[in-house]
Amino acid sequence: MMGMIDVFHITKDYGCQRGIFDVSFYVEEGEVFGFLGPNGAGKTTMIRHLMGFVRADMGECFINGKNCWDEASLIQKKLGYLPGELTLLEYMTAWDFLKFAAQMRGQKSMRRAEGLAERFELDVSQKIRRMSKGTKQKVGLVCAFMHNPDVLILDEPTSGLDPLMQGRFVELLLEEKDMGKTIFLSSHMLDEIEKTADRIGILREGRLAAVEDAAKLRSSYQKTYLLTFEHPAAANAFQKGVYACTRIDALHLSARVQGSVSEFLQAAGQAGASAIDVKTESLEELFMHYYGGTGQ
């Protein structure tokens, strides 16, 4: 065992190249592990194995040393889980549902639930059946976090949330991380992974393409610079120089630069660039370069 979450060679083959195949990774205690991949890549299938909902064709997975299939009920007592597809008791109010979930866990205090509901501006008196998708997602988030679990497994947690609530979720996640919680965050939303993850695994077509340190990936970002020149001759001269540039029009060039850029900026200034704008590569673009293809 290497971490709080350990996955060894998990395979679940649904046929027609659907499922997950020979997936292995670990998540250390106190770490946020980002699990990235397009829809249909197998992220939810992996989570269902961690939750003990599905038995693997091959391989095993463990949370805090307990087998996810054989000891699922013990694991789930101290686990916070947000499924990708929420199933709530529609006839209840949000508060009645949260109290029901607390009773199932043996949780007595509802103080943390009240604080989380306030944080996400959730009206707990509203009937669930009248809620929008985003409001139901808030109920799911409160339910996942309210018992202060040591391990959180979150499947597309910001689905349906507006940008303000997405920001509040990221703030909450960083607070939980600072408290030493272990968080498995599955998403195709690159922003929340970029802002929170220590390491990132990318799943493509059911296989784990790689697991990388998030800081290392960020340092590998390429930057695209848009250069503006006052005279076409200066633009022509710089384009013929040592840096690979793409011509936009007579006065504008774009150039992709990786790593240290001080020499590039100095050269552009000396060549007569009157303005330099920068665009940083996103994680999605980085993965396209890093692994090739479209990521689908």
Q: How sure is the predictor about 294, in pLDDT bands with cuts at 50, 70 and 90?
A: very low
> In CATH, what number is assigned to the domain containing residue 252?
3.30.70
| pLDDT score recorded for residue 281 | 61
Residues 100, 233, single domain; the answer is no
In a domain, 291, yes or no: no
With a cut of 50, say whether residue 132 has pLDDT above it: yes
Whether residue 176 lies inside any domain: the answer is yes
Asked if 36 contacts 59 with a C-beta cutoff of 8 angstroms, the reply is no
Residues 6+ apart with CB under 8 A from 146: 98, 101, 102, 107, 110, 112, 113, 116
Assigned domain for 293 exists: no
Q: Establish if 286 belongs to a structural domain.
A: no
- Between 87 and 102, residue with greater pLDDT: 102
The whole-number pLDDT of residue 220 equals: 67
**Domain range holding 131?**
5-218
pLDDT digits (tens, 9 = 90+) for 35-80: 988 778 899 999 999 999 999 999 999 999 999 999 999 998 889 9
pTM: 0.79
What is the distance between the alpha carbons of residues 239 and 198, in angstroms, rounded to a whole number? Answer: 39
Average pLDDT value for residue range 161-182: 94
